[in-house]
Amino acid sequence: MKTSNNNPIRFWSIASGISLLIMAIAAGYAYGFSFSKIYVENNSLQTMTNIQSNSTVFYSGAIVWCLILVADIIVSYGLYRYLKPNHKLIALISGSLRLTYSIFLAIGIAFLFQKNTEIFLKIWSLGLFVFGFHLTITGIGVFLSTETPNLLGFLLIIAGIGYSLTHGLQNFIPQATTFVTYLETFLTIPMTVGELSFGIWLFIKGGRKISQQPSNAPVPDAP
């Protein structure tokens, strides 16, 4: 077993863990503070007034969204590298889904800079629908890992189901608003804890016991 200094999987575990933690903190400002201070649901006129009167808060939040996007792209590749030794196909699907989510987020941020908050929310929500599948696949990859605790895989799968279910209903069955609110009440904590706890674990312990070489175990053919 090589040391973490020359083990690329350990490097990408740390990079992914740090990026996930940065995203959690950055999202607290970008969405929890900046966007929430500016955006008024179903009231574009008041929202625009808030943007004009709080332009520093608005644009600083938009810039932090760009930081979140960069961190997401790092995680896309980092998780691919982390999962690859145990299952190449799972790793590829996980990384590709997260990268797809990042594309949605990038498009949404472009509209945010144009002060179109409604389209930003719509595109971001569609991205989170995809993001949920990423977390679910990642959770399956964690179960297949010989290093990662199964509890983290379970939390990721629950979080993934939560994201895809709530944002799927919001986008494709808008009549289910009441049910979505009910779901979010029960799933918000697992949706938050799942990825955050995985990020902490990746930073502290991820990749220490994984060989640099991909597994030689046969990989099932894609359907």
Task: Choose among 5, 73, 16, 2: nearest CA to 206.
Answer: 16
DSSP 34: I
Q: Give CA torsion, residues 67, 68, 74, 75, to 10 deg.
A: 160
Least confident of 66-75, 100-109, 193-202, 204-213: 204-213
Please check whether residue 213 lies inside any domain of the structure: no
pLDDT surpassing 70 at residue 187 = yes
pTM (two decimals): 0.88
Residue with the larger pLDDT of the pair 208 and 97: 97
Please state the domain count of the chain. Answer: 1
pLDDT in tens, 55-71: 999 999 999 999 999 99
Note down the domain range covering 120.
7-204
Residue 218 lies in a domain: no
Based on C-alpha coordinates, what's the Rg of the chain?
18
Cα–Cα distance measured from residue 164 to residue 88, given in angstroms and rounded to the nearest whole number: 24
- Within a domain: residue 211? no
At residue 217, the pLDDT reads: 45
Amino acid (1-letter code) at residue 10: R
pLDDT, tens digit, 9 for 90 and up, residues 6-53: 789 999 999 999 999 999 999 999 999 999 999 999 899 999 999 999
Residue type, 40: V
**Does residue 220 form part of some domain?**
no
Report pLDDT for 2: 41
Structure-token match 């279910």, residue found = 165
- State whether residue 39 is helix, strand or coil: coil
Sign of CA dihedral 173, 177, 182, 187: positive
CB neighbours of 46 closer than 8 A, spacing ≥ 6? 40
CA proximity to 101, closest of 71, 78, 134, 79? 134
Per the CB < 8 A criterion, the answer to whether 101 and 127 are in contact is yes
Residue with tokens 């053919």: 221
Q: Is 219 inside any structural domain?
A: no
pLDDT the model gives residue 3: 41
In this structure, is residue 82 part of a structural domain? yes
Task: Let me know if residue 221 belongs to a domain.
Answer: no
In whole angstroms, give the CA distance from residue 76 to residue 72. Answer: 6
What token pair was written down for 122? 């719509």
